[in-house]
Protein backbone atom coordinates (compact mmCIF):
# COMPACT_ATOMS: atom_id res chain seq x y z
CA UNK A 1 0.00 0.00 0.00
CA UNK A 2 1.24 3.47 -0.86
CA UNK A 3 2.10 5.85 1.94
CA UNK A 4 0.56 8.80 0.10
CA UNK A 5 -2.88 9.76 1.52
CA UNK A 6 -4.14 10.26 -2.04
CA UNK A 7 -3.52 6.56 -2.81
CA UNK A 8 -5.18 5.03 0.26
CA UNK A 9 -8.10 2.72 -0.39
CA UNK A 10 -10.52 4.66 1.79
CA UNK A 11 -10.95 8.37 1.36
CA UNK A 12 -12.76 11.15 3.09
CA UNK A 13 -13.85 14.37 1.48
CA UNK A 14 -14.07 17.34 3.80
CA UNK A 15 -15.01 20.99 3.53
CA UNK A 16 -15.50 23.88 5.90
CA UNK A 17 -17.66 26.98 5.82
CA UNK A 18 -18.10 29.62 8.48
CA UNK A 19 -20.57 32.46 8.70
CA UNK A 20 -20.15 35.75 10.49
CA UNK A 21 -23.80 35.76 11.55
CA UNK A 22 -26.15 38.70 11.74
CA UNK A 23 -24.79 40.54 14.79
CA UNK A 24 -21.00 40.37 14.51
CA UNK A 25 -18.55 42.47 12.55
CA UNK A 26 -15.87 39.78 12.53
CA UNK A 27 -15.91 36.02 12.23
CA UNK A 28 -14.68 34.45 15.46
CA UNK A 29 -14.91 30.84 14.30
CA UNK A 30 -11.85 28.74 13.44
CA UNK A 31 -11.27 25.27 12.13
CA UNK A 32 -8.35 22.99 11.37
CA UNK A 33 -7.88 19.81 9.39
CA UNK A 34 -4.71 17.89 10.20
CA UNK A 35 -4.36 14.90 7.90
CA UNK A 36 -1.94 12.12 8.69
CA UNK A 37 0.94 12.28 6.27
CA UNK A 38 1.41 8.52 5.96
CA UNK A 39 -0.78 5.45 6.30
CA UNK A 40 1.08 4.22 9.37
CA UNK A 41 0.58 7.56 11.09
CA UNK A 42 -3.11 7.50 10.22
CA UNK A 43 -3.42 3.97 11.56
CA UNK A 44 -1.83 4.95 14.89
CA UNK A 45 -3.28 8.47 15.40
CA UNK A 46 -5.87 9.14 12.69
CA UNK A 47 -6.73 12.44 11.10
CA UNK A 48 -7.73 15.38 13.29
CA UNK A 49 -10.67 17.70 12.55
CA UNK A 50 -11.29 20.63 14.88
CA UNK A 51 -14.04 23.24 14.98
CA UNK A 52 -13.81 26.09 17.49
CA UNK A 53 -16.78 28.40 17.79
CA UNK A 54 -15.91 31.98 18.69
CA UNK A 55 -16.88 33.28 22.11
CA UNK A 56 -19.46 35.79 20.88
CA UNK A 57 -19.82 38.51 23.45
CA UNK A 58 -16.34 38.00 24.89
CA UNK A 59 -13.37 40.12 23.86
CA UNK A 60 -10.93 38.39 21.52
CA UNK A 61 -13.19 35.41 20.87
CA UNK A 62 -11.41 34.96 17.56
CA UNK A 63 -8.09 34.64 19.42
CA UNK A 64 -9.52 31.95 21.70
CA UNK A 65 -10.78 29.89 18.77
CA UNK A 66 -7.48 30.35 16.92
CA UNK A 67 -5.52 29.23 19.99
CA UNK A 68 -7.71 26.13 20.15
CA UNK A 69 -7.23 25.06 16.53
CA UNK A 70 -3.49 25.72 16.69
CA UNK A 71 -2.82 24.30 20.15
CA UNK A 72 -4.86 21.12 20.15
CA UNK A 73 -3.20 19.45 17.14
CA UNK A 74 0.27 20.41 18.34
CA UNK A 75 -0.31 19.00 21.82
CA UNK A 76 -2.19 15.94 20.53
CA UNK A 77 0.83 14.88 18.50
CA UNK A 78 3.23 15.89 21.27
CA UNK A 79 1.54 13.35 23.58
CA UNK A 80 2.28 10.41 21.24
CA UNK A 81 3.00 8.19 24.26
CA UNK A 82 -0.70 8.32 25.24
CA UNK A 83 -3.59 6.58 23.51
CA UNK A 84 -5.38 8.81 20.96
CA UNK A 85 -8.38 9.49 23.28
CA UNK A 86 -6.09 10.29 26.21
CA UNK A 87 -3.83 12.49 24.07
CA UNK A 88 -6.83 14.37 22.69
CA UNK A 89 -8.31 14.94 26.13
CA UNK A 90 -4.97 16.15 27.49
CA UNK A 91 -4.47 18.43 24.48
CA UNK A 92 -7.91 19.98 24.96
CA UNK A 93 -7.37 20.53 28.69
CA UNK A 94 -3.92 22.05 28.20
CA UNK A 95 -5.15 24.33 25.42
CA UNK A 96 -8.10 25.42 27.56
CA UNK A 97 -5.68 26.31 30.35
CA UNK A 98 -3.67 28.46 27.92
CA UNK A 99 -6.81 30.19 26.59
CA UNK A 100 -7.89 30.97 30.16
CA UNK A 101 -4.40 32.18 31.09
CA UNK A 102 -4.32 34.58 28.17
CA UNK A 103 -7.85 35.76 28.86
CA UNK A 104 -7.04 36.56 32.48
CA UNK A 105 -3.81 38.33 31.48
CA UNK A 106 -5.65 40.52 28.94
CA UNK A 107 -9.26 40.95 30.11
* Model pLDDT for residues 15-38, shown as the tens digit of each residue: 888 777 777 677 778 899 998 888
* Model pLDDT for residues 51-94, shown as the tens digit of each residue: 988 766 566 677 888 999 999 999 999 999 999 999 999 999 99
Q: Is 28 exposed, middle or buried (0-12, 13-18, 19+ CB in 10 A)?
A: buried
**What pTM did the predictor assign?**
0.78
Amino acid sequence: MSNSPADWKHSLLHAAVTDIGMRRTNNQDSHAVVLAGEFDQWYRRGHLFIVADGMGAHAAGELASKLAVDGIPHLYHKHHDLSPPEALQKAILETNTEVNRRGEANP
